Structure 1
Amino acid sequence: MDAAGSAYPVEWEADVVLRDGSTMHVRPIRPDDADALQRFHTGQSERSTYFRFFAPIARLTDRELRRLVEVDHTGRVALVAVRPGRADDGTERDDILGVARFDTIADGEAEVAFNIADSLQGKGLASVLLEHVAAAARERGLRRFTAEVLPQNGAMLGVFRDAGYEISQHLDDGVVSVGIDLDPTERSRAVMADREHRAEARSMDGLLSARRVLLVGAGPDASTPEGLLARRVLDAAAADPGDTELVALDVPGDVPAGVRLAVGWDDVGEVELALLAVRPETAVDVVRRVALAGARGVVVLSGGYAESGPEGLERRRDVVRTAHAAGLRVVGPVSFGLLTTTGGAGLRASLALHAPAPGVVGLFCQSAAAAVTLTATLRRRGLGVSSLVSAGHRADVSGNDLMQYWLDDDGTRVVCLYLESIGNPRKFSRIARRLSAVKPVVVATAGRSGHVVPPGHAVRATHAPRRLLDELLRQSGVIQADNTHQLMDVAQVLAHQPLPAGNRVGILASSSALAVLVAEAAASEGLVVAASSDYLQPHAHEDDIARAVDALYAPGACDAVVAVDVPVVQPRTGAVARAVAQAAARTGRTTVVSMLGLHGMPDELTAPAPDGSLVHVPAFSTPEDAVVALGKVAEHARSRAEDRGHYVAPDGIDTRRARRLVEDWLAADGAHELSEDDGAALLDCYGIRLWPARLVRTADEAVAAADEVGWPVALKSSSPALRHRTDLGGVRLDITGPEDLRDDVARLCAVARDVVGETDPAFEVQAMAPKGVACVVRSAEDPLFGPMVSFGLAGDAVDLLDDVAHGIPPLTDVDVAAMVSTVRAAPRLYGYGGAPPVDVDALEDVLARVSVMADDLPELAAFELYPVVVGADGASVLHASGRLRLAGRRADALRRALPG
């Protein structure tokens, strides 16, 4: 508790990246920050102080300090951006470099103010603090900020104007009054994502552009795990130093030529990156020391952290907190390191004895073991990379950071990710969607569900369906590979061949049997076999080979070529390989081959293009591998050319009223089961009408309810076991008169007694909706994935077959349409078996509105609309159920934050 008696909101603490790539810690202010706030205030220029207080206040009084540092974290909130400093006596302290605060002035409205250190103005700190204080305000039920700004303070006015929120401003008595609507907009989300991208990309550039690297060991003993790691780095520096200047400190044995041995911390000098092969209990102190040496990041090679238990997890958190507070990023623990192949600036900060060849593939993986395998595979295939990063247990730097960097890196044309866990799936989806629109992203996951977490990875538990990870990757626009072998297969096509213009594939095979098998494999991958396909007789003459190849590569003959040459008796001559390579280079036609004895990027399949550049045709071990890789590339080309749509923003939504309802319902005990009336009220906030139903227990009550809602009516058991079960007699439809209704009440009473043992059953009476197809729309809040929505048609067969589509909001209109159309039972919506088609647009509108509701309300633990009857003209929502509970902070909240 703080001095004001309110709980300190730990969840508001976060490490952030600024525009220059450095890091800082944001947290709520505390009463013991009074001295730090006074130092901050007296260190500001007279101009900055005047802009903040509209008066030249040289020093804050004790009363003013108490008012500023003692807040209740509810109606009055203040966040500070801090970095560690030292007092004159050498003790550590927090130095405040920025303050953002708001004071509630009316229902749903607060006055906001900022003060940023002169040295950090223009570096994006005010924008970061606005995101964080706005998120805190929304959590406190506020929906609007007001601010008074002097006209001369153009920088602060620019922060408000450029944030992407809806704002208003007017000049009154020499002061600009600004109003800021805190409800997120598509523009505010885009602004946040763009600023996040620039900051995180800059942060990664600081790591990957390092030239002067410090290796810190654990002492002279080469037999310890840390000693072995340090020796491996030194051996790697001797074998392949790249363009890295390596300084070694406290390492075992002699250092190779070209490596400078420092005789103590005072002898280290300035460095840009540090490799840590140290015992975990000393890591925090080492991080502090390398920060003083100017490092922008640390790569933790050694283990002993989260994989060793709770104590190790806390050590890991201490390392990350210390690094972020000092402005550093952390790669690891248990990292294989970093490599780049940029000419003249090749970084070698890893355990790899030899770097892969230069190339255009950016490769990210996690465990060191995976990095060893992938590095060996790259060398064996002759596939080059632009950079390779192993994040180890991913305590800080993750694949999300690298995707931000590769988006702007001209040397990277293909991105490959091997993920053993995903710590922030929503952020991954958001960044991958943006990146995959301009560069292919290929992803292989160690687990296909996200439910298995390797030792050492600190990941939130998930209760999501096992298929949701596949849906996440599809929604992100990435190419999903089944394993690392396939990851490399797809990468070598993308790295060296153009994207095909379509899915027509021409096949050239060394036998008719092979041609048939390849054609079958192509069809299973969604490719269409072109009429120009052909096969060659054994020992075909070069003239025959040339004619077949020319026909295959003729203009318009096909979009891509698969060439297979596997002679049975005599050795392969190479004539087919030469002809195919030359034709591929000449025409620019996408080509893959499977030829006996060739694998990867062999010289035999290299030929000059008309502009003089060399074109490499990838070779695969089997025809099936070649076809699968080509099929995935062709599907990516098709989806990349399609419109990705816009995030859904249905009209008639009242988010503020929905939030007030949720807060009122949860005020009593932090959990709430939604009644029928509650569900109707919540749906009304999102423009969805719930058909009214009346709860009855007797026949007389049922008849009165039918007179009220209007005949004909439906009678339904209120028991969850019978509510939708027409097969068990729990539903009666099209009841047109009182006598029939009385008879049906008697029958449902007997069903309730015999089937579920109810002695005093209750029923619902509801007006009959237009006939149509019954569907189910659900949402849930998952600790890892955040909001999830699902769609399916109603019925036992659909449930048993798990014929359900999933999505993770925010969704685009294209995402929503795909969810509806891709379930296997979807033909029933479009006129299957002669039935009239239904109003799919109305169904998509309901699904879109539920997705927005799920995105808005993390307290909505589970929600179900069942049934949603879609008719020829509109969709009728006949029943809603759900439950609320107090929500924790989502992993990808509307604020920029690093893993903590």
Structure 2
Amino acid sequence: MPDDALPPAYPSEWEADVVLRDGSVGHVRPITPADEERIRRFHAGQSAESIYLRFFAPLKELSPRDLHRFTHVDYSDRVALVMMHRDDIIGIGRYDKIDPTTAEVAFNISDHYQGKGIGSVLLEHLADIGRDDGLTSFEAEVLPQNHKMLAVFADAGYIVSRRVEDGVVQVHFDIEPTEKSESVRLSREHRAESISISALLAPKVIAVVGAGRTEGSVGHEVLRHLRDGGFTGELYAVNPGADEVLGITSYPTVSAIPSHVDVAVVAVPADQAIAVVEDCAGANVHGLVIISAGFAEAGKDGQKLERRLLRLARDSGMRIVGPTSFGLINTAESVSMNASLAPAMAPAGHLGLFAQSGPLGIAVLQSAGRRSLGISTFASAGNRLDVSGNDLMQYWMDDDRTRAVGLYLESMGNPRKFSRIGRRLAMTKPVIVIKAGASKFGVPPGHRARVSEVDPGAFTAMLTQAGVIHVDNIHEMFDVAQILIHQPEPKGRRVAIVGNSVQLSALTAQVAESQGLQITHGPASVDAEAPLDQFAKQVRKALANDEVDSVVVCFTPPLRRGEDEAVAMIHDLAADTDKTVVATMIGTRGLMSRDAPTQPVTETADDAGPDRQLPLYMTPEDAVRALAKATRYGEWRRKDKGMPLSRSGIERGKAQDIIDAHLAENPKGLHLSHEQAQELLAAYGIDLWARTIVASAGEAVAAAETLGYPVVVKSLSPIVRGQASLQGVRVDLGSATAVREAFESLDARLAAYDRGQFAVQRMAHPGVSTVVTGTEDPLFGPVVTFSVAGPARDLLEDIGYRIPPLNDVDVAELIDSIKAAPLLGGYKGAPPVSRGALAELIGRLSMLSDDMSEVASVILNPVVAHPGGVDVLGAEIELQHPAKRKDSRRRKLT
């Protein structure tokens, strides 16, 4: 809809693309006066029964008055959303306020689009909009026979009360999210997105658009790869100048193909893409795999073209992989799809792979092939215009053939969503990610992603929270994958090392200790020329040791003699144990067959699961690093995942009112005064100590008398506070004379550094000075940090990061994540601080940051942690109108 057709108050932030229950896409937006004709068409297409259930009367057509009332809303007391497919309304949801906290809600879903979950989506979005406007509950009047609408309310996860009055069911429910409603929302999102990707990876009919007869052209090669790969479905070429290509029937357009096309692989020049997408939209194609280049990566014109492409596809319910995608692969025998630029079908296996750019796709697939690691499915997102790694993870969660997941990420569009999906997937399947981190240097050309402003440590922390295994390169990804797919998950850190070289065994032990593993057996070594049965005896001894969880076998065949026998022996021993076994054999990497180590294994890819294979590594360092990462992943899976933080004493509404009032007076943002910060923090149960700004010794004494002795006098100058050597504070002042002398001394000494900026504050308890912060990042959203104040933070950058929402375990791990954490536990005889009080403070700040995106920055410094609790002495808070967060409570594609 053109911007000039929108009413002035139109809330564009309510617009969203949503994956529906059947995997198609719908567009949610606020209703507008221009929708009158669309509403009339919608009503005219409804059955008499549907009309009666909605209006309680046989209303054959809507009057001009009704049309005006339905389409003219104020987006506050009266709110209405429509679900769109192309230019047609297929669902309507609205509420009208009854009072400031309650609204009556109603829905009307097109008969032709029933069963797609449209009512549930509209309810989610209306509830979220209502909560933002202060609503706490919805009411509805529903006829008893309207079972579908009653089910929408009952299945949403809210606590619903009903009563029958005059033959009508009166429904009432609170719209504050509950654990059940959140679980329902995320489960629906997961199922819809999983189904959407499944339709892309297991299509029945594929058309290759731009399949020319010229050998070497992109469309020609993709068509050949699909044909030669044995695609089990129907395959068509689209070429207006040919009746057949490579022996495959060709049609001039996708819409001319007699079968319903599930996936169209697009290999035409960028300037022809819009026409192709329009044709596919008319043919109701589910998804597009756009191999073509020349889009956003080519500059501003390409970016505009991409935006048109995306809008057209989503308005028509389609998904897009690409542009500049390397393609899709599914090795399942029932599909056998190589819709990619890879010349040969990848071997079947149990590793799901995701990459973005074409070159990385080539590198990932080639490396997997060299390792003899078979794959289940592969996807390359290219510019990631639509389908992303988040979507693929939703699919892999349900795919029994996939036992581990590897993702090579050049950029990340929605880290918060990645974190929550990654955590759910990692509970059952290892997720291995290659990414250098987020940085100020931006993202690759063509990738739709915001640039992070926080330290790359935030990205690493996010992966740690989610249980995702972070590796540095492709080789390390496959090093880890071949353990977690083909060996039992390590049960602990206890390791045995057995070798036939004293030097190699010792080196392996050193590396193991440096990686945090515990050597509980060995390093044991036999002579390099010893018979193989002596070596086998040592391996058996290590496997029989109850104090061992994993065994690292280091074997160096003398002049390559005995290699085959050694591999067979280690294979046989490893097959009879539930312990993790890895081996290093110089010059060998990957999964090797039992009987011929120079020949790669052939993985089985049936639902029975992967064969037990022996992972081999070129060096002990590679083997041990991979084992250590696999071990830490196993620990994460077994650990307590934590409980939600208590919101006792938190007044979110009050905090929102405070923030709204400040930003109404200061639309460009502001830094809160100490007193303003006190008020906001108090709404979240954080007690910021009072202080009094003073300009003279007399004012300092008066302030001390009011606050009560002992007190401190400190400089407020940023210059002084930033340089510890200037010593801008006097502590433990117990009398008026001491306060006066301290003020005069500091005032004279710091005259060159913003003289006169001083404050008096009550003396804190002795303890450890710490810093707790919350930052609203353009990419990550809220980021919380914790550190010990002083050189550890300022010089050594010893700072812990976590991404809200946090639970109790997340908070505890954040505190322990810094190197200076021992200072909190009673270092060198000092009393330990109250970890409970410190954790509660961090938790409350994390909830403030998570709830209030308008809090651009909050720095609590210093926070003195001591045996009796925590003293929050200083706070700097900046408020700004925020950019829209990528991952909200409303289901949406980003």
- TM-score w.r.t. length of structure 2: 0.94
Report how many residues are paired: 882
1:280-321 deviation line (CA, Å, top 9, x unaligned): 222122122223334211100001111111221121121122
Could you say what secondary structure the match of 1:452 adopts? coil
**AA of the residue aligned to 1:100:** G
Map 1:332-343 onto structure 2 (within 5 A). 332-343=322-333
Q: How far did residue 211 of structure 1 move?
A: 2.8
**AA of the residue aligned to 1:207:** L
What residue in structure 1 maps to residue 576 of structure 2? 586
1:117-154 deviation line (CA, Å, top 9, x unaligned): 22333321111112222333344454443433344434
CA gap 1:743/1:208 in 2 versus in 1, 3 angstroms:
same
1:68-99 deviation line (CA, Å, top 9, x unaligned): 11223333322110112xxxxxxxxx110111
Q: Which of these residues, 243, 246, 252, is aligned with residue 232 of structure 2?
A: 243
What residue in structure 2 maps to residue 16 of structure 1? 18
Q: Which of these residues, 131, 150, 172, is aligned with residue 124 of structure 2?
A: 131
Contact 1:451 1:462 in 2 (8 A): no
Q: How far did residue 807 of structure 1 move?
A: 0.9
Matched, 1:46 2:43: no
Q: How far did residue 887 of structure 1 move?
A: 1.8
Matched, 1:669 2:658: no
Contact 2:80 2:92 in 1 (8 A): yes
Could you say what secondary structure the match of 1:618 adopts? strand
What residue in structure 2 maps to residue 839 of structure 1? 834
1:769-798 deviation line (CA, Å, top 9, x unaligned): 222111111111111110111111111333
Map 1:426-445 onto structure 2 (within 5 A). 426-445=416-435
Q: How far did residue 868 of structure 1 move?
A: 1.1
Q: How far did residue 656 of structure 1 move?
A: 0.9
- TM-score w.r.t. length of structure 1: 0.93
What residue in structure 2 maps to residue 67 of structure 1? 69
Q: Which of these residues, 238, 251, 268, is aligned with residue 262 of structure 1?
A: 251
Q: How far did residue 235 of structure 1 move?
A: 3.1
1:205-239 deviation line (CA, Å, top 9, x unaligned): 1111113210000766x49xxx8211221332354
Q: How far did residue 720 of structure 1 move?
A: 2.8
Matched, 1:807 2:807: no
CA gap 1:173/1:696 in 2 versus in 1, 3 angstroms:
farther
Counterpart CA distance in 2 for 1:391 and 1:602 is: 31
Contact 1:239 1:353 in 2 (8 A): no
Counterpart CA distance in 2 for 1:274 and 1:714 is: 72
Q: How well do the aligned residues superpose, as a CA RMSD in angstroms?
A: 2.5
What residue in structure 2 maps to residue 616 of structure 1? 613
Matched, 1:55 2:57: yes
Counterpart CA distance in 2 for 1:241 and 1:384 is: 17
Counterpart CA distance in 2 for 1:524 and 1:586 is: 29
Contact 1:490 1:632 in 2 (8 A): yes
Could you say what secondary structure the match of 1:334 adopts? coil
CA gap 1:746/1:266 in 2 versus in 1, 3 angstroms:
closer
Counterpart CA distance in 2 for 1:17 and 1:488 is: 32
Counterpart CA distance in 2 for 1:213 and 1:510 is: 55
Contact 1:217 1:252 in 2 (8 A): no
Counterpart CA distance in 1 for 2:31 and 2:330 is: 41
Could you say what secondary structure the match of 2:81 adopts? strand
Could you say what secondary structure the match of 1:521 adopts? helix
Contact 2:529 2:558 in 1 (8 A): no
Q: Which of these residues, 858, 871, 876, is aligned with residue 876 of structure 1?
A: 871
Q: Which of these residues, 616, 626, 635, is aligned with residue 629 of structure 1?
A: 626
Contact 1:450 1:466 in 2 (8 A): no
Counterpart CA distance in 1 for 2:241 and 2:382 is: 24
What residue in structure 2 maps to residue 745 of structure 1? 743
Q: Which of these residues, 820, 843, 847, is aligned with residue 848 of structure 1?
A: 843
What residue in structure 2 maps to residue 481 of structure 1? 471
Counterpart CA distance in 1 for 2:429 and 2:76 is: 44
Counterpart CA distance in 2 for 1:450 and 1:493 is: 35
Counterpart CA distance in 2 for 1:374 and 1:290 is: 31
Matched, 1:731 2:724: no
1:93-112 deviation line (CA, Å, top 9, x unaligned): x1101112233443344333
Report the more deviating stretch, 161-170 or 780-789.
161-170
Q: How far did residue 568 of structure 1 move?
A: 5.0
Q: Which of these residues, 183, 206, 216, is aligned with residue 209 of structure 2?
A: 216
Matched, 1:117 2:115: no
Q: How far did residue 708 of structure 1 move?
A: 1.9
Q: Which of these residues, 650, 655, 664, is aligned with residue 653 of structure 1?
A: 650
Q: How far did residue 477 of structure 1 move?
A: 0.6
Report the more deviating stretch, 815-824 or 312-321.
312-321
What residue in structure 1 maps to residue 790 of structure 2? 795
Contact 1:866 1:880 in 2 (8 A): yes
Counterpart CA distance in 1 for 2:791 and 2:312 is: 55
CA gap 1:448/1:728 in 2 versus in 1, 3 angstroms:
same
What residue in structure 2 maps to residue 303 of structure 1? 293
Q: Which of these residues, 6, 9, 29, is aligned with residue 7 of structure 1?
A: 9
CA gap 1:347/1:748 in 2 versus in 1, 3 angstroms:
same
1:707-732 deviation line (CA, Å, top 9, x unaligned): 22221112222323335866423212
Q: Which of these residues, 474, 491, 509, is aligned with residue 499 of structure 2?
A: 509
What residue in structure 1 maps to residue 180 of structure 2? 187
Could you say what secondary structure the match of 1:73 adopts? coil
1:796-838 deviation line (CA, Å, top 9, x unaligned): 3332111111111101111110111111111111000110001
Map 1:191-590 onto structure 2 (within 5 A). 191-217=184-210, 222=214, 228-250=217-239, 259-265=248-254, 267-270=256-259, 271-447=261-437, 449=439, 451-556=441-546, 558-569=548-559, 571-590=561-580
Report the more deviating stretch, 314-323 or 542-551.
542-551
Q: How far did residue 43 of structure 1 move?
A: 2.1
**AA of the residue aligned to 2:620:** P
Matched, 1:827 2:822: yes
Counterpart CA distance in 1 for 2:40 and 2:555 is: 78
Counterpart CA distance in 1 for 2:678 and 2:65 is: 50
Q: How far did residue 263 of structure 1 move?
A: 4.7
| Unpaired segments ≥5 residues, structure 1 | 85-93
Report the more deviating stretch, 409-418 or 68-77.
68-77
**AA of the residue aligned to 1:735:** L
CA gap 1:765/1:263 in 2 versus in 1, 3 angstroms:
closer
Could you say what secondary structure the match of 2:476 adopts? helix
CA gap 1:516/1:607 in 2 versus in 1, 3 angstroms:
farther
Counterpart CA distance in 1 for 2:106 and 2:726 is: 63
Report the more deviating stretch, 537-546 or 1-10.
1-10
**AA of the residue aligned to 1:892:** D
CA gap 1:160/1:762 in 2 versus in 1, 3 angstroms:
farther
CA gap 1:448/1:659 in 2 versus in 1, 3 angstroms:
closer
**Seq. identity, %:** 44
Counterpart CA distance in 2 for 1:607 and 1:269 is: 39
Report the more deviating stretch, 40-49 or 876-885.
40-49
**AA of the residue aligned to 1:398:** S
1:245-293 deviation line (CA, Å, top 9, x unaligned): 3211118889665632225556422221110001222212212222333
Report the more deviating stretch, 423-432 or 190-199.
190-199
What residue in structure 2 maps to residue 705 of structure 1? 703
Counterpart CA distance in 2 for 1:608 and 1:129 is: 46
**AA of the residue aligned to 2:822:** P
Could you say what secondary structure the match of 2:65 adopts? helix
